Structure 1
């Protein structure tokens, strides 16, 4: 230790990084000679709101030209089809800046998130289709009697919806647990050893959920926004915590007949106390119902043989969009020819034999009320039938994994650079 200097201050000096005496505090202070540990801090330029978030859907012609030049995915051939990346690009371009963050953009460009988005588009599209079917069937009950075929058909609807929710749940569970490529987004760090950043985690998933609703709405042809929003909020948060329903007060579940609730909500609905409530997605995972175990590994585990039904799910959720077109399958507008849509993925009116322009959908894009079009924008969803349950299981579980569908690194970088410029202007 060295002598005290003339001006006071430290009464002792540090040597080899041990204890020093501080005259101001009259206490021993330990000073380490190791470099300081860098603590990761989460910085957001603006606090992302978790309430009502409005996207811009009235993009003018000048902005469309700017989007087409700078941000639209470049068409590589004549038979280019609409991809999930195209839908994400529109959602990111029209999203308010205060919900965007580098973490959200990174999460949207992960193979796990892409499978999650495609699964929820299929689930919501089929849910809307069966909801309309059940409405018609309930009206027909006023004039006709129920037959055994009614029970068989409605059981098929219920099983299909449950399996589709299971497809969404398996990817959502991976994201919650920080598995596979989502480790760095876990609120306790990649190794799950840091202090829990619960507020950061809640805001990330709230903005992801709102972005998911917008992507599903765009992929399904800009129709039934309220119904999509209510259903997605319900399956992720349950009826108790469905804040959209608490705001709108539609009472749509109470207005359903018991047979409609059985089909649309499924057999795994549980009404527990608030502290013990799990979301319907988690209930689908832990529900005691007959389910093909291979459903929970589609797109990840490479099975030697799968049924036609499972192959359909794998094709829709985990395969490139060009294969959808080759198999004559569409996921809403995903998988359809790109040249039939304009810059903002609205259908281009087609000329009829009499020379008049005819669009496959109505011109209005209102979310509250959209008239039913005579010509559907995309074909209905047809889920292959279930095969008899297998009794002989393989001796070993497959250890070979599927090659993930590649995510566009070019588009990923474009949106990160755009966000950086937008934040720099504020």
Structure 2
């Protein structure tokens, strides 16, 4: 009986293995007789740096015809033929590399919150480029002109306008971070925020959304100043310390700015904390101790009883219909302009000036020798002129308004088209 027990303890056979005594460790070890299971290697897509993601901008004529027939937004009866944000998103999705596309990204791009976010970012970057050029000119003029108190007033107005536009971007970005409103299902801890955090998945979604946003802003602003847009966008969302684009390009554009330029373009809400305590400039704008019109934090979402002409202007550009921009003689980059002035890829249709003969060009150059100054090329869209703040005190309602603005509808048809196209592209790559 004792022998049976000893055999059962030290050498007993089981259905899937047996026990053996290890002399080195002086312990029992269970040796399995089953074949080892093959461990499935889960391929996790690495986060590609922004600079390595290249969009195609040289679409040939055949692909343009295919795009116009299958994927371009079709006009509804009675609808004005103007460029919309959806048109710009369609071009970005059509020219994007397949490795950054996903159903989650396409669905995220077709949300009212994301639409307001992209519009606010286009407005902020467009005004930033405009003020950056203005400040560069003003700094050059200091060599021959004297700085007056009026300069401070004008530059303070530029600074406050940029700060308010950053607040408009930050409020939509905060909704995405907390998974509020229509972004609940995209939160990294699930709609109820009770799951384990999918930090790597969330980081990939953020990087692809940021790269797609840069491309959309660049297209909406007429395909100009890509590096400036990319650098400023990454600075806003990641701060100067974690600006990967600046670390790659090494432009040093902030250190080359004069103090007056930094005060206007960066604002006075910039904080230089330790890396662990660093917050993005967008978050700093929200928590900054400066007089902020509280209605900016709900513009386009909360229906306020009384708003100023400044807020009406910003609400139209951030959440209003693109058709109304023509009536108000304002545009958001090329958004709001007639689509007939642009080709399929939203490039401006060139005039017949390029068809001039060499003889006519030579004759013009002979007559223009006296005045050698070149005229600046006309801009595709009018400059951004933000109405000034009202001098009177902000109106405070007796109770906080609980009525919400009707969200601008997003094209479900285009969303399904891009999801179907992605499914076909993924199927073709696997075969």
Asked if 1:375 corresponds to 2:378, the answer is: yes
Stretches (4+) displaced over 4 A: 22-26, 43-48, 354-357
Question: Deviation of residue 46 (structure 1)?
Answer: 5.7
Counterpart Cα distance in 1 of 2:48 and 2:266? 29
Report which of the two has the higher share of helix: 2
Counterpart Cα distance in 2 of 1:406 and 1:45? 35
Asked if 1:390 corresponds to 2:393, the answer is: yes
Question: Deviation of residue 350 (structure 1)?
Answer: 2.8
Counterpart Cα distance in 1 of 2:317 and 2:44? 37
Task: Name the residue aligned to 1:331.
Answer: 332
Task: Name the residue aligned to 1:127.
Answer: 128
1:174-323 superposed matches below 5 A:
174-323=175-324
Counterpart Cα distance in 2 of 1:137 and 1:223? 22
**What TM-score do you get using the length of structure 2 for normalisation?**
0.84
Provide closer, same or farther for how the CA distance between residues 233 and 391 of structure 1 changes in structure 2, counting only shifts above 3 A: closer
Asked if 1:49 corresponds to 2:52, the answer is: no
Provide closer, same or farther for how the CA distance between residues 422 and 391 of structure 1 changes in structure 2, counting only shifts above 3 A: closer
Provide closer, same or farther for how the CA distance between residues 372 and 161 of structure 1 changes in structure 2, counting only shifts above 3 A: farther
Provide closer, same or farther for how the CA distance between residues 372 and 73 of structure 1 changes in structure 2, counting only shifts above 3 A: farther
**Structure with larger Rg:** 2
Question: Deviation of residue 390 (structure 1)?
Answer: 2.3
Task: Name the residue aligned to 1:16.
Answer: none
Per mean C-alpha deviation after superposition, the further-off stretch among 372-381 and 114-123 is: 372-381
Counterpart Cα distance in 2 of 1:71 and 1:262? 44
The C-alpha deviation readout for 1:68-93, integer Å capped at 9, x for no partner, is 00000013458410000000000000
The C-alpha deviation readout for 1:68-123, integer Å capped at 9, x for no partner, is 00000013458410000000000000000000000000000000000000000000
Question: Deviation of residue 279 (structure 1)?
Answer: 0.3
The C-alpha deviation readout for 1:190-224, integer Å capped at 9, x for no partner, is 00000000000000000000000000000000000
Question: Deviation of residue 393 (structure 1)?
Answer: 2.2
Contact 1:50/1:203 (8 A) holds in 2 = no
Task: Name the residue aligned to 1:417.
Answer: 420
Contact 1:48/1:99 (8 A) holds in 2 = no
Question: Deviation of residue 374 (structure 1)?
Answer: 1.6
Contact 2:47/2:207 (8 A) holds in 1 = no
Contact 1:50/1:207 (8 A) holds in 2 = no
Contact 1:45/1:423 (8 A) holds in 2 = no
Question: Deviation of residue 392 (structure 1)?
Answer: 5.6
Contact 1:130/1:157 (8 A) holds in 2 = yes
Q: How many residues were matched structurally?
A: 375
The C-alpha deviation readout for 1:310-329, integer Å capped at 9, x for no partner, is 11111000011001111111
Counterpart Cα distance in 2 of 1:142 and 1:320? 45
Task: Name the residue aligned to 1:62.
Answer: 62
Question: Deviation of residue 373 (structure 1)?
Answer: 4.9
Counterpart Cα distance in 1 of 2:63 and 2:394? 58
Provide closer, same or farther for how the CA distance between residues 147 and 119 of structure 1 changes in structure 2, counting only shifts above 3 A: same
The C-alpha deviation readout for 1:222-278, integer Å capped at 9, x for no partner, is 000000000000000000000100000000000000000000000100000100000
Contact 2:306/2:395 (8 A) holds in 1 = no
Gaps of 5+ in 2: 1-13, 19-41, 358-373
1:160-175 superposed matches below 5 A:
160-175=161-176
Counterpart Cα distance in 1 of 2:103 and 2:266? 35
Contact 1:46/1:98 (8 A) holds in 2 = no
Task: Name the residue aligned to 1:74.
Answer: 74
Counterpart Cα distance in 2 of 1:129 and 1:309? 18
Find the residue that maps to 1:415 and give its secondary structure. helix
Counterpart Cα distance in 1 of 2:80 and 2:187? 39
Counterpart Cα distance in 1 of 2:289 and 2:418? 43
Contact 1:47/1:98 (8 A) holds in 2 = no
Find the residue that maps to 1:374 and give its secondary structure. coil
Counterpart Cα distance in 1 of 2:92 and 2:226? 14
Task: Name the residue aligned to 2:363.
Answer: none
Counterpart Cα distance in 1 of 2:305 and 2:295? 11
**What TM-score do you get using the length of structure 1 for normalisation?**
0.84
Contact 1:111/1:404 (8 A) holds in 2 = yes
Counterpart Cα distance in 1 of 2:279 and 2:84? 33
Counterpart Cα distance in 2 of 1:156 and 1:210? 30
Provide closer, same or farther for how the CA distance between residues 372 and 123 of structure 1 changes in structure 2, counting only shifts above 3 A: farther
